[in-house]
A and B are shown apart, each in its own frame.
Chain A
Amino acid sequence: MSNIKFVIEKSPRIPRLIEHLYANMPEIEADRAELVTESYMQTEGLPIIKRRSAAFRHILENIPIVIRPEELIVGSNSIAPRGCQTFPEYSFEWLEPEFDTIATREADPFYISPSTVERLKKVHPYWKGKTVSDLAASSMDPLVYDVFMNHGMFTVGNYFYNGIGHINVNYAKVINCGLEAIIDEAKEAISKLYIGKGDYIKRKQFLEAVIESCEGVITYAHRYSELALKEASECSDSTRKEELLKIAENCDRVPGKPARNFYEACQAFWFIQQLLQCESSGHSISPGRFDQYMYPLFKKDLDEGKITYEKAQEYIDCIWVKLNDLNKVRDAASAEGFAGYGLFQNLIVGGQNEEGIDVTNDLSYMCLEATMHVRLPQPSLSIRVWNCSPHDLLIKAASVTREGLGVPAFYNDEVIIPAIMARGLTLEDARDYCIIGCVEPQKGAKTDGWHDAAFFNMCRPLELVFSNGYDKGELIGLQTGEVENMTSFEEFYDAYKKQEFHMIEMLVNADNAVDYAHSVRCPLPFESCLCDDCIEKGMSIQEGGAHYNFTGPQGFGIANMTDALLAVKTLVFEERKVTMAELKQALKDNFGKGIIPKKALELTTEVVKELDSQGVEVNENIIKSVYNNISTAQSIPEEKKKRYQEILDMIDALPKYGNDIPEVDSFAREVGNTYTKPFEKFTNPRGGIYQAGLYPVSANVPLGYQTGATPDGRLAYTPIADGVGPASGRDTKGPTATANSVARLDHGVASNGTLFNQKFHPSALSGMDSLEKFVAYLRGYFDQKGMHVQYNVVSKETLLDAQKHPEKYKNLVVRVAGYSALFTTLSRSLQDDIINRTEQAGL
């Protein structure tokens, strides 16, 4: 049995850095918004690419900078720890009505000072009609815009309101060659342009913008060098003074010139990581294969005796802390879909190189150790797994999983490499993939993946089948016929597929409109120069400069739709126990269950407004009775409710996805393909193709909140199943059965990524023996061509909730007494025992 490798002592500096970072609520700052506006006012009439580089440089030369106490790696986009800037060039209107509520909203609140509000209000009017968002809206077909804005069939909100991000850039080039080399490369490219060519002008403008952007970044680093020198001269603590002098030296050197040692490489990496998130508001700027491009200088320092493992670990830990210093404010609705201040900076370790050789190294382990040390949400740590992954790397990873942070996420090389090759990548590029954002694979520094292009709620087309294409009284779908008149399951299923395809076409139009708007209004010269083949093509990423171009919209609800369609097939068409009319009414009446409180409140408000507008005098009693009726379904007769309960019981008794039943699972695969396959024929404005994913981030909750009851027995406005996993609580045969079911989906077709969450109790992973078995379990899932999996090792709070709502936790594994069992199958007293035990273990 192996031991856990690379257990390295944590520097006492790290907890202090974290404490400082989390002392206050994150804050919105106005400096960037002011600076970008100032610059835009001065550059009207210039080509957009030059306006972008001028604005970026203006920001970098003037934005306030700060070195936080005890930092070794410096560079912050805001003065406030975990603060954020705003990006009015993308959108701003959503922020204004939220000025008063943003500090108290449920998802991701931010403090905003009165003076910041004033400063933002001053610059916002300039942007009216000029934003990416404005152009995207006017570029969509009117019906598509209506469906996106008002009907919640899908959302492209992320890139509609914000930058795109979702990229990995050439960190290695900056570390090894420096930005000055990129400036030289751009100058060289300009010198080779032929004046007689039609694209001469655009190429030259782009390359000049690259030079200006890189110069701006070097200037910014030098400002930090000067600040560090100044602080050193005022510092009385001799140790800190030394540190500050070293920081000054680093920032003078990188990222302009090549890094000479590991510490400089860390600082160079950080400036790039940080400033990509200053140029644009796009998230999921993913460091990718950090253990690979950082390794040469680490190894060199180690061999020359210039660094210890402890010191290198401290630098890595410092970077991990800094990744949590960056932040982004989103509109209230988007914040729910990306809840948790997530920036999704995905960093992956292990896996094979371009030649197919495993290249796990010391840093792979130390990155896992860093996550153990900082215990923070960023980076989104991932690990590549294949047949030649070292066993002890997986044991180390499992020991991190056991900590309950939900990381690392595990990725299967054996599925991802062929999947992305099928999308046109070379074998070498495919082998060198990294992960972007949540779960999206790409070849780093060469791809504009436009991952996360949209959320598509697979439950909504089924609603359109029941309504014959109507939503909120408007015809937005196809008229597939009155559902009561359908005579076979094939007809019904066909109607679903038609409605779904129709919505997919609309989604494509919406995405392409947003894509186009970014290319016109926000091309990004700095990001572009760090991605192949932009310099060579003389074209920004947003215009199609990257080597590989994709658009990746993700669908979710596969479990609900599998169970729902099978319920209709079995109960309505085969066994004829329920008529279609009856089912339609049951869905409308939410199976007689009443509406969840939050939604009931909203609906009450609507009814009251309607009454008010009709001149009805509304008093408190009327409001109360409206609310009660909605929340408890009082107006539905008891007899009907009884019948609805019978229907629910019949649905409940049917076999469900997630229980290792081959017939059900193969239908799930087919349902998944109804979403993923159609995308293969669509193209984007950057000359690339669409590739679908199957994952929801956290949007399965807010978008579930917009979805009525479904025939799988899911009640109205409750969450939709997350990722490719079974609907919550419906898998009852243990973790191997669930994994076998999930592995039966076609993960390869969903080449934009699939997401499988599993829950374990920490006790199921305690001790080396359990870790070994856990790794075997993971390998077994991957042997069957699962693509991704991550584990929630659950806490006491969850266990308490599992007691209150056992139906949601039927698959929660706990260690009992010498064996493991499903938590909800245990007696109440034993559950209490285990909960108390957990508390003791937490001491």
Chain B
Amino acid sequence: MTSNIYEQPGRIFDIQRYSIHDGPGIRTIVFLKGCFLRCRWCCNPESQEYKIQEMTMAGKTKTVGSDVTVGEVISEVRKDEIYYRRSGGGMTLSGGECLSQPDFSEALLRAAHEYGFNTAIETTAFAKREIIERIIPHVDHVLMDVKHMNSAKHKEFTSQSNELILENAKYIAENASHLIIRVPTVPTFNDTPEEISAIARFADSLPNVTELHLLPYHRLGQDKYAGIGRDYTLAHLTPPTNEHMQMLLDAAEKVSSKLKVQIGG
């Protein structure tokens, strides 16, 4: 990591302002490039590779990914400072996986805190313990996915097994100032009451965790797969109905002692 955090370089592919449905207040989301997982439903497939790549959408080719410094990102994030103050919002790191660029993420989060902005990360928590130990002190809200309790199935759909993730979940629950567990609810993968109940039981067992968000599967990103020359393997799936989501929510609540379960995040 550079001695001046503002000079720390990193790779992002988008900055989105006025995000109002992820975390408290009005937020700016910084999307980092690169991820350890290859979730089949991923709505940002162009975020998975660390390398800068081309994507063709609606006949137009654009470059995905750019190398920036923390100072450059923060000056963009600061543009909505006045709205964070009014709403209690701030900066969210998403991706990609922010833990795949730990120096950059740590510097960004520290810089945001220097300006007094609330910070959040959306993460798979698939990373070495020492990286998590470095990042967590600078995060006000961790939004972490637990996708499946069965390691084999986890690996089949995301390319990685779940042991490291579940271990890290315990650490984060004990050490983070706030942790929300999120479940992307994907048909044929984890959308049975049994599978959701298993996740809920696990989440319920984590200290300090009181919120579980079930995020219904959607097709966002489908067109992007073709745009980067890949197949979308879930084209046959239809998003779960409201009734089905409600049924899963009931199942999750039934097995938990302290969780508040909601649909969407």
- Chain A residues with CB under 8 Å of chain B are 660, 733-737, 740, 764, 769-770, 772-774, 776-777, 779-780, 783-784, 813, 815-821, 826-830, 833
Contacts and interface: CB of A to CB of B under 8 A. Distances in A.
Nearest to A773: B20
B228 to A, nearest CB: 13
Contact of A779 (B19, B86, B224): B86
A777 B18 contact: yes
B45 interface: no
A479 to B, nearest CB: 44
A452 B223 CA distance: 49
A783 B79 CA distance: 14
A764 B20 CA distance: 8
Contacts of B87: 772-773, 776-777, 780
A825 to B, nearest CB: 9
B83 A818 contact: no
Contacts of A783: 82, 86
Contact of B86 (A735, A780, A817, A828): A780
B220 A830 contact: yes
A734 B18 contact: yes
A777 B80 CA distance: 10
Contacts of A817: 215-216, 218, 220, 264
A820 B216 CA distance: 15
30 contacts: A660-B79, A733-B17, A734-B16, A736-B79, A736-B83, A740-B79, A764-B20, A769-B20, A773-B25, A773-B26, A773-B87, A773-B89, A774-B20, A776-B86, A776-B89, A777-B18, A777-B26, A780-B82, A780-B83, A780-B85, A815-B21, A817-B215, A818-B21, A818-B215, A818-B265, A820-B20, A827-B219, A828-B223, A830-B220, A833-B239
Nearest to A821: B16
A737 B17 contact: yes
Given A734-B17, A777-B26, A827-B220, 16 more contacts: A660-B79, A736-B83, A737-B17, A740-B80, A770-B21, A773-B20, A774-B20, A777-B83, A780-B82, A783-B82, A813-B18, A816-B220, A818-B22, A819-B22, A829-B223, A830-B219
A827 B215 CA distance: 19
- Kindly list the 10 A-B residue pairs having the minimum CB-CB distance in the complex, ordered from nearest: A776-B87, A827-B223, A780-B83, A776-B86, A817-B218, A734-B17, A819-B21, A734-B18, A780-B82, A773-B20
B26 A736 contact: yes
B25 A736 contact: no
Contacts of B25: 773, 776
A129 B215 CA distance: 73
B48 interface: no
Interface in B200-251: 215-216, 218-224, 239
Contacts of B223: 827-829
A768 to B, nearest CB: 12
Contact of A735 (B18, B22, B219, B264): B18
A548 to B, nearest CB: 34
A682 B259 CA distance: 68
A349 B22 CA distance: 33
Contacts of A772: 87
- Chain A interface SS verdict (over half): helix
Interface centre among A764, A813, A817, A829 (most CB of B within 10 A): A817
A830 B17 contact: no
B222 A829 contact: yes
A77 B256 CA distance: 67
Contact of B80 (A736, A774, A779): A736
Nearest to A816: B220
Contacts of A826: 220
B39 to A, nearest CB: 15
Contacts of B86: 776-777, 779-780, 783
Interface of B: 16-22, 25-26, 79-80, 82-83, 85-87, 89, 215-216, 218-224, 239, 264-265
Contacts of A827: 219-224
A539 B124 CA distance: 77
Contacts of B26: 736, 773, 776-777, 780
A821 B31 CA distance: 14
Interface centre among B21, B216, B224, B264 (most CB of A within 10 A): B21
Nearest to B57: A827
A829 B222 CA distance: 8
Contacts of B221: 827
B189 to A, nearest CB: 16
Contacts of A830: 218-220, 222
A272 to B, nearest CB: 40
A780 to B, nearest CB: 4
A820 B83 contact: no
A733 B14 CA distance: 11
B19 to A, nearest CB: 6
A733 B83 CA distance: 15
A89 B86 CA distance: 53
Contacts of B220: 816-817, 826-827, 830
Given A764-B20, A777-B83, A820-B21, A833 B224 contact: no
Contacts of A818: 21-22, 215, 264-265
Interface centre among A776, A820, A826 (most CB of B within 10 A): A776
Contacts of B215: 817-818
Nearest to A774: B20
A456 B20 CA distance: 38
Interface centre among A780, A783, A816, A829 (most CB of B within 10 A): A780
A257 to B, nearest CB: 49
B264 to A, nearest CB: 5
Contacts of B16: 734, 821
A271 B16 CA distance: 52
Contacts of A820: 18-21
B76 to A, nearest CB: 9
B106 to A, nearest CB: 25
B115 to A, nearest CB: 16
Contacts of A737: 17, 79
Contacts of B265: 818
B79 A819 contact: no
Contacts of B79: 660, 736-737, 740
Contacts of A773: 20, 25-26, 87, 89
B17 A736 contact: yes
Contacts of B219: 827, 829-830, 833
A378 B33 CA distance: 51
Nearest to A824: B58
A774 B87 CA distance: 9
Contacts of A784: 82
Contacts of A736: 17-18, 26, 79-80, 83
A641 to B, nearest CB: 20
A779 B19 CA distance: 16
A304 B80 CA distance: 50
Contacts of A828: 223
Contacts of A813: 18
A827 B222 CA distance: 8
